[in-house]
Every structure is written in structure tokens, then in C-alpha cells.
Structure 1
Amino acid sequence: MVPVTVLAPEEWEPRATAHSERVRAYTEPYLRRRAAQQKHPVEDFLFTYYTQKPAQLLKWHPGAHTVLTGPPAVERAGWKFYRNLTSEERQQLGLKNDDGAVTLDLAAFLETRREAVDFARIILSGTAARPAQFGCFGLHEWAMAYKSEENSIRHEYLNLRLGAQGTDEVVEANRIRCTHFDAFRFYAPQAVALNELQPTRTAQRDLEQPGCLHANMDLYKWAYKLTPALPSDLVMDCFELSWRIRAMDMQASPYDLAEWGYPPIAIETPGGRADYVRAQRAFSAESQLKRAQLNEYINQLHLTVDP
């Protein structure tokens, strides 16, 4: 049995407050931009591409196998996937029947989310077991902007650093071997055949590898899909990792982000490619640690998955 942690209000309320402050540093600037109908090519991404909303991210969760006690815990009994402790459970933990005491309703969570959690485990464990590839140089973003004079591009409000022709020349002069379906699906039509692989959603479980920036950004996705069974501290660790990876991903893109405060990683040059790989390796190592933590929490939920 996984041990149960019981937290008094003076233990868990400061954690909830600290989490809210940590999240607001990211959500409040985004919400101000959204209200003003302004875009940011780096800092909006985690809120516009992923499905987790700012209000959802702001909620602090201790994770499974944790009991929150005291009057402030009472309202959480009405939160999705939370429940009050039974009288028997209170007695076992030495809690009075009139104390507020709530915990994750793990049975209800797994009944609703079992398929999503199982798939997350398959992706996470499979990705962790594969060798990392470090030769992509972020060319997926260039393939998305290929033949921009003929196609609409994702970030139409940004200038291409090398212009349309220069961008096309970089794409045509390099080997492109993107393994991530959710990058590949945004390729310009003319660039699809230039990718050595043809990733699909079905093949995702076989192709994801720990050198991929987008696979590592997706750790945030798998983390919030495990909410509220996962501690919010780990969710935010994955969020902030994804935030930093997004910045590097766009620095290596064909777009000119200098005026946004992001100097380019010029992957069309030997020096730029070396810089890219150094950063990619560091992110891969950091992501593997977070990937292992996510897998550990899934295992603690006593899930049995047949990949």
C-alpha cells in the first residue's frame, strides 16, 4: 500500500498560495495580452496550443494518497475527483468526524481517465527507453514555413529572418528527419515529402524519442492530463521546462524574434548547429528526469498497462 500523507491547513495552505503565485507570473501577462488582442510567439504557446486553461493551472493539487484537513479543505469536496473521507478512514488516521478531510477519489479518477493515463504511460516509458537523436537542428519549424510565398504560414505576423527564398534554401539543403507527429502535421504541403519519416498519430508510440524538443515540451501535456492525481509542483516543473524549450525552439526557427528579445540560433551555420545540439542535449537530460518522475507517479497509482 502507498502511504497516506495527512496535511494540516498550516502545512498545505502556504503550498497552495505559493503555487498560485508561481502560476500567475505566467498567466497574468498572457491574459492581459489576450484582452488586448495581442500575440506573443513564444509566451502564448503553452496556453494556445495545449488544452489546459489558466484557471485550471492555478488550482493547487497535492496529488494522490494525500489528505487535506481543516475548514479550508471542506470546499474541495465539491471539486472534480475529490471526496470526503469516510468515518472509518478518519478513525484509521486519528481524525475527528467533524474535521474537514478530503482526498483524491482515485477510483473515480481512474474510471474516467484510465485510457488517457494508460496512453501517457505508454508514451512516457517508450520515449524514455529509446536513444535520443540530435541531428534535427529544429528544421521542423523551417519546413512549416517552406514555400511561404505560396502558402499561409503559422506565424504570419512575424518576418522570416532569411526571407522566403533563404528559408526555402535551408530546407532544401538539409536532411529533415522529424519524428514528432504534432510538428510534422503542420508542415507546408511541399515539405511533407522532404521528411525522411512520415509520422502518424498511430505511430507516435513507436517514434517519440527523448532528443525531440516537442516530445519534451509535451511532458507538460502528460502532466496536466494526470491532474489532480499528480502534485501541482511537478506539473509546474514540466510547464516551466516546456516554457524554456519553446523559447529555444523559436530561437532556432526561421522567424526573426530579435525585437521580442530572443536572439537567433542560426542553424544554417556550423556554429549555430553546434549551439542547438548543446542546448538540445541539456534539455533532453533534464526531460528524462521529469519523464522518470511522471512514470513513477503513474506506477504509484497501481496501474497495469499492456503496451
Structure 2
Amino acid sequence: MPEHEWRALERAHAERADALTAAHRERKSRGERHPIEDFLFTYYTTTPGQLRRWHPGAGVALAGAGEERASWRHYRPEPAGDAVADAAVDLEEYFAKRSGTVDYVESLLERTLDRPPRFGCFGLHEWAMVYRMSPEHLRHRGLELRVGHEATDAVVDAHPIVCTHFDAYRFFTDAALPLNELTPTRESQRDLEQSGCLHAGMDVYKWAAKLGPIVPGAVLLDAFVLASEIREVDMRASPYEVSGFGLAAIPIETPEGKREYADLQRGFAARGDALRRQVLAAISVARAERPAEAEACAGRSD
């Protein structure tokens, strides 16, 4: 890719990332926290600085970037005669260190796409996380429960809980765990993950970030935007009072709230599936561009 072209893409990516993280960075500089918006920077490990780093994806050599990206993880300089060296992802080194992660993410996303989405959970995972919990033990101590503790427990008691996502289920209170239709585990995640789950939709961002430089920058930022929007809906449908943050509650304890939540779920599932396919496409490109001798060695080791 010519230098003028990738420089423009890199600059646009950094500007977009900076805009997406500006509020978080400003709060952090003041020592302030936001219980809703900061989630993507506390629950996930990608920092704003890492998010603004642009990658073209596998199989693309960046003209003149050899010296600049020599210190970037998984990059290698490529000789360019008398000119400044180019740079590209070193796929042999990348797969030597990250093949387990690639295999897991690929399998998880493929299985998620193959499984029918479910739209009947109504976000009750957040309610199960506070079920029969005393006020001083709430995860978000700065937020009040919208309908109070007794009414929150009554909503859980009155609805079937059908959470399929381990990283939501593991935060259920002890009293709520046996109420779930399933018992998700880390080992069963690939067997249960489905695109109707809001947490699975947020996790597309996590998987894109974990794959690092083989995922094009635009895909990573699109996944971040989706995760941000899902997080907002997740909290709007939760038992917490979020009106103080300019958000309208989605009262999933009512028929109208259930319909609104399921409609939003369907939109998120479609967008999440589109991003899953883009991440899988990035993996396919990386596998196709991987040196043949590295593939052969991997096959012998398997």
C-alpha cells in the first residue's frame, strides 16, 4: 500500500478512535468514573492508546513503514532495495505465538453464526446479578435500583431465566444461579454462544482486539461502536436507575419493554453477525497469506 494512502487511513483511524474515547480519557484525567460508559475500558483490557493503533490486516505491506513499525508487536520490516523498508505483519511469528487464540476465536464465531439467535432473555441477567442482594453489595453502588429491591426480586421470580453467556452467568448471585435454565461454563461457551445475546455482541469487540494486527482497524472500531451501543441498552434494561445519565429505562418487566428490548436485540444480532463474518474473513486472509512452510510445520506438530 503506498505511503500516502496508508498514512491517510492511519490518521483517520486515530482521529475516529480519539473521538470515541475522548469522554473516558477526560474523566480519567480528573479521576472520575462513569458506571456505564467506562465499562468497555474496565471489563475489557484494550486501552484507548491500543484502540487508536491502525492495522491494515494481514497480507498488506505498508510502504516505507519498516523503521517506524519495527517495534510494533508481530510486525517485520521488508527490504525495499535502496528505499526505506516496508512493514507487514509477520504471519509466521504471529501464528507461532497466537495460533491457539486464532483457532478458538474462529471456532467460537463460526459456531455462533451457525446457531439460531434467541430473543427471549429480556436482559434478565442484570436482574439476576442483584437478586436477593443487600444494597451494600450491589456491583454499581452509585446507582439505585429503579423499582426497589423487593420488586426487583419479584421480577426475577416471575420470569424464566435463560442466560446462555458464561461471562454474564458467573456474576449471578448464589440465589439466582439455580434459577437459570442452563449452566454455562467456559468450556461450554462455544456450544452455547448465540448472537441474540447482548454480551456475545459486545464480545465481538473483545475477539477483534485479541486478534490484534490481522484485523483491519475499521473492523475493530466498528466492533467498539457496537459494544458501546449494546452496553447502553444493557443498562437501560437493567434494574438500575439510569435516568440521571440521560438514559430512558427499558422496563422489561412490562410487555412494552419486552417488545422494545427484543427489537433492539434483533438489530444488534444482525450487526454483530456482520462483524463476526468480517473477523472470520480477516482470519481467512491471514491463514491464506501465511508462509507455506509454516503451515506445513503446524500440520506436522498437530
Please give the range of the TM-score, normalised by the shorter of the 2 chains: over 0.9
Which of 179, 186, 193 aligns to 1:201? It is 186
Q: Match for residue 214 of structure 2?
A: 229
Q: Which runs of 5+ in 2 are unaligned?
A: 289-294
Which of 70, 74, 82 aligns to 1:77? It is 70
Which of 236, 244, 247 aligns to 1:251? It is 236
Residues 1:106 and 2:98 aligned together: no
Q: Match for residue 287 of structure 1?
A: 272
1:97 offset after TM fit, Å? 3.2
The residue matched to 2:137 in structure 1 has which SS?
coil
Which of 41, 54, 64 aligns to 1:60? It is 54
Q: Match for residue 114 of structure 2?
A: 129
CA contact (8 A) 1:144 1:186 kept: yes
Deviations 1:48-87 (A, max 9, x none): 10011111111111111111113x552112211111114x
Residues 1:47 and 2:36 aligned together: no
What is the rounded CA distance, in whole Å, between the counterparts of 2:30 and 2:118 in structure 1? 40
The residue matched to 2:213 in structure 1 has which SS?
coil
Matches within 5 A, 1:28-47: 28-47=22-41
What is the rounded CA distance, in whole Å, between the counterparts of 1:60 and 1:302 in structure 2? 20
The residue matched to 1:68 in structure 2 has which SS?
coil
2:263 aligned partner, one-letter code: R
Residues 1:191 and 2:176 aligned together: yes
Q: Match for residue 20 of structure 2?
A: 26
What is the rounded CA distance, in whole Å, between the counterparts of 2:283 and 2:136 in structure 1? 42
The residue matched to 1:218 in structure 2 has which SS?
helix
Which segment is superposed worse, 252-261 or 295-304?
A: 295-304
What is the rounded CA distance, in whole Å, between the counterparts of 2:97 and 2:241 in structure 1? 44
1:41 offset after TM fit, Å? 2.2
The residue matched to 1:135 in structure 2 has which SS?
coil
Q: CA RMSD in A?
A: 1.7
CA contact (8 A) 1:133 1:209 kept: yes
- Gap change, CA 1:47 and 1:247, over 3 Å in 2: same
What is the rounded CA distance, in whole Å, between the counterparts of 1:99 and 1:268 in structure 2? 62
Residues 1:143 and 2:143 aligned together: no
2:70 aligned partner, one-letter code: A
The residue matched to 2:200 in structure 1 has which SS?
helix
- Gap change, CA 1:130 and 1:151, over 3 Å in 2: farther
What is the rounded CA distance, in whole Å, between the counterparts of 2:4 and 2:94 in structure 1? 27
1:151 offset after TM fit, Å? 6.7
Residues 1:163 and 2:156 aligned together: no
Q: Percent identity?
A: 45
1:35 offset after TM fit, Å? 2.9
The residue matched to 1:83 in structure 2 has which SS?
strand
What is the rounded CA distance, in whole Å, between the counterparts of 1:155 and 1:37 in structure 2? 17
Q: Match for residue 254 of structure 2?
A: 269
CA contact (8 A) 2:202 2:227 kept: yes
What is the rounded CA distance, in whole Å, between the counterparts of 1:179 and 1:289 in structure 2? 21
What is the rounded CA distance, in whole Å, between the counterparts of 2:208 and 2:278 in structure 1? 10
1:250 offset after TM fit, Å? 0.7
Ranges of 4+ aligned residues in structure 1 off by more than 6 Å: 303-306
1:170 offset after TM fit, Å? 0.6
1:257 aligned partner, one-letter code: V
Deviations 1:85-142 (A, max 9, x none): 14xxx4xxxxx43233111111111111110111001110011000110000000000
Number of aligned residue pairs: give it. 291
The residue matched to 1:69 in structure 2 has which SS?
coil
1:150 offset after TM fit, Å? 6.9
1:81 aligned partner, one-letter code: H
